[in-house]
Amino acid sequence: MRPLSRGFLLAAMSAAVLSPAAPAVPTVAEAQAFMEKVESTMMRLSEEAGRASWVQATYITYDTEILAAQATEKSISANVAFAKEAKRFDGLKMPADLARKFKLLKTSFTLPTPAGPALSEELTKIVTGMESVYGKGKYCPPDAESDPGKCIDLQEITRIMANSRDAKQLLDVWTGWRTISPPMRKDYQRFVELSNLGARELGFADTGAMWRSKYDMPPDAFARELDRLWEQVRPLYVSLHAYVRNRLREKYGDSVVPARGPIPAHLLGNPWAQSWDNIYPLVAPKDGDPGYDLTEILKSRNTDPLQMVRYGERFFTSLGFAPLPKTFWERSLFTKPQDREVVCHASAWDVDNVDDLRIKMCIEINEEDFATIHHELGHNFYQRAYNRQPFLFRDSANDGFHEAVGDTVSLSVTPEYLKKIGLLKDVPPASKDIGLLLRRALEKVAFLPFGLLIDQWRWKVFNGEITPDRYNQSWWELRRKYQGVAAPVARSEQDFDPGAKYHVPANVPYTRYFLAHILQFQFHRALAQAAGCKDPLHRCSIYANGEAGKRLRDMLAMGLSRPWPEALEALTGQKQMDATAIMDYFAPLKKWLDEQNAGKPVGW
């Protein structure tokens, strides 16, 4: 992932130094001059904000947190001020590129603060406060009153849910984590009111409509597009769901897991049941061992963190990309320092929007981090590919593309690729593929409905379809509808379970992750075809293929300069997102799942 959304990184000058009021009928020349000033100022202040954020993430102190927070607040308010100033050019006929910049300026942030310093400050404080409540959240069991050391944070809860197979313990920590969110409920309601006010001042129906407007199509059309994509992939998810439910019944019994209906959310290996790969040992097929252990191979070779990153860089240079700049190796954070606190969550950075590329990771020598490095470098090579575009075009074609590019590269980390780079002597036989595919489906396919429903809930909250007295009820209705997952204990409107997922209190849009999970397979299929791969799609790797590399480089260089359907066409030949690539990739698994589910309940 990237560290912050564009809205938080784009910085601009304050309203006090905006251009003087334009004549009643502005000209194209004035619009061009305004935009040049906007872009040059945003470029400069974006770099300042990026450096403040980098220092805060790699040197966590009281002061660096304040400095980063100040840069964030300035960025939000200034972006809104610029967008409102730009409204005076509404209706002016201008060149297509310039018109696109004005459109992007209005949708480049996610928190539209309303006019007036009091309301703007109130909204910013609410969001900052909710994020702080989440970040400090801990579950304190009843016996923690006498021993506060028994309180556990999200990191520990996540570890327990990934590894424990004790249904009572899983229920305890699942419920416990959700005690942190009810205090946010009133603040979230006020946040919706203020955010919608700011969105309407910018000309949008509500905040959700503003978010959807950045996808080069009418907001309602974009919502229908998501439904279409979900219906394409839903049969595969339903088969996976039925298989997992049956295997969990074998483990926990009928009293915990019903034969029909939704799966209890606390049993799926994750605090939010958003991905299920942690329960692979419970559901693995016979002979599911892939025949090698990449973690052990890397450790046996005494691979160090820098060598792990070099493997990733060589993947991209094999496709024709230039090596990473020297400064990347000098300024990145590869290992956890012993002398200070840092944010270890992996992220890719483009600090100056040109070539000050970095990654921030506390690399461990294992298979997961090997794939993560390939993913993060996908962001970096994308960032550099579009660095000659005007500032407002220095981003991915839509926010799903950036995540998708990194994941597309990770899909090429196949046994065939590992053999080519000397980490495997022999590629496992096809008989091992079901285990590999099932593990990947538990990560990728299981995520899809969750990636969709987060913003389905928020959009309905923003437009008033979901009222505050139905926040929690509607949340679980959507989770059942899309995921076939249910709360393991009764929930009420005294709870605020949406707030137990970071992206809700932090106001981070989530549809990008659903899109990324669709696009990465569409990208992978197109690049594999360009590379001439004749193997099953899940065995294809584009490593060292010049044609696939050229097609990828050409698309990345477009940045945000053109509507995303044109960028998609440049890479795949299609102008429409297409989830059939997922069905192609997992076709052998779908056949196997349906065989396992024969004669058993399917659906919920």
Q: Is 374 among the residues known to form the active site? A: no
Of 1-10, 128-137, 426-435, 480-489, which one has max mean pLDDT? 480-489
Q: Which of 188, 403, 471, 530 is catalytic?
A: 403
Q: Is 538 among the residues known to form the active site? A: no
Average pLDDT of span 448-462: 97
pLDDT-based confidence at residue 17 (cuts at 50, 70, 90): very low
Non-local (6+) Cβ contacts of 504 within 8 A are: 188, 454, 458, 498
Q: Which of 33, 162, 345, 493 is catalytic?
A: 345
Q: Which of 241, 266, 379, 517 is catalytic?
A: 379
Residue with structure tokens 């090429």?
412
Tell me if residue 303 falls in helix, strand or coil.
Answer: coil
Q: Is 376 among the residues known to form the active site? A: yes
pLDDT-based confidence at residue 440 (cuts at 50, 70, 90): very high
Res 259 pLDDT > 60: yes
**Range list of H helices, 332-470:** 367-385, 399-411, 415-420, 433-444, 447-462
CA 157 – CA 162 distance, rounded (Å): 9
pLDDT-based confidence at residue 3 (cuts at 50, 70, 90): low
CA 44 – CA 56 distance, rounded (Å): 19
DSSP letters for 106-166: HTS-S--PPSSHHHHHHHHHHHHHHHHHHHT-EE--GGGGS-GGG-EEHHHHHHHHHH---
pLDDT score, position 4: 47
CA 260 – CA 250 distance, rounded (Å): 14
pLDDT-based confidence at residue 2 (cuts at 50, 70, 90): low
Longest CA–CA span in the chain (Å) reads: 75
The percentage of the chain sitting over the pLDDT mark of 70, rounded to a whole number, equals 96
pLDDT-based confidence at residue 23 (cuts at 50, 70, 90): low
510: phi then psi, degrees, rounded to nearest 5: -115, -15
User: Parallel, antiparallel, or unpaired: how do β-strands 152-153 and 138-139 relate?
Assistant: antiparallel
pLDDT score, position 134: 84
Query: Could you tell me if 283 and 243 are in contact, meaning their C-beta atoms sit under 8 angstroms apart?
Result: yes
pLDDT single digits (tens) 268-279: 999 999 999 999
pLDDT score, position 46: 87
Q: Is 48 among the residues known to form the active site? A: no
pLDDT-based confidence at residue 325 (cuts at 50, 70, 90): very high
pLDDT score, position 68: 80
Q: Is 403 among the residues known to form the active site? A: yes
Res 12 pLDDT > 50: no
Query: Could you tell me if 365 and 335 are in contact, meaning their C-beta atoms sit under 8 angstroms apart?
Result: no
Average pLDDT of span 423-429: 93
pLDDT-based confidence at residue 495 (cuts at 50, 70, 90): very high
Q: Which of 31, 83, 86, 346 is catalytic?
A: 346
Question: pTM of the prediction?
Answer: 0.89
pLDDT score, position 274: 95
Handedness of CA 340, 341, 346, 351 (dihedral sign): negative
Tell me if residue 579 falls in helix, strand or coil.
Answer: coil
Provide the residue ranges of all domains of the chain, joining segments of one domain with +: 1-102, 132-185+221-289+445-509, 294-427+512-588
Res 346 pLDDT > 90: no
Q: Which of 243, 382, 513, 543 is catalytic?
A: 513
CA 582 – CA 192 distance, rounded (Å): 35
pLDDT score, position 359: 96
Tell me if residue 335 falls in helix, strand or coil.
Answer: coil
pLDDT-based confidence at residue 441 (cuts at 50, 70, 90): very high
Nearest alpha-carbon partner for 37 in 392, 395, 396? 392
pLDDT score, position 15: 33
Res 301 pLDDT > 80: yes
Averaged confidence pLDDT in the chain: 91
pLDDT single digits (tens) 349-362: 999 999 999 999 99
3-state secondary structure string, 343-356? CCCCEEEECCCCCC
pLDDT single digits (tens) 532-541: 999 999 999 9
Q: The tokens of 110 are what?
A: 């996610």
Distance of CA 50 to the CA centre of its chain: 19
Q: Which of 503, 544, 566, 570 is catalytic?
A: 503
Q: Is 36 among the residues known to form the active site? A: no
Q: Is 375 among the residues known to form the active site? A: yes
Q: Which of 374, 375, 517, 538 is catalytic?
A: 375
Res 135 pLDDT > 90: no
Q: Is 73 among the residues known to form the active site? A: no
CA 475 – CA 185 distance, rounded (Å): 13
pLDDT single digits (tens) 557-581: 999 999 999 999 999 999 999 999 9
**Range list of H helices, 166-286:** 167-177, 185-201, 207-212, 219-252, 280-283
Nearest alpha-carbon partner for 215 in 206, 207, 225? 225
Neighbours of 370 (CB within 10 A): 23
Res 7 pLDDT > 60: no
Nearest alpha-carbon partner for 191 in 248, 112, 291? 112
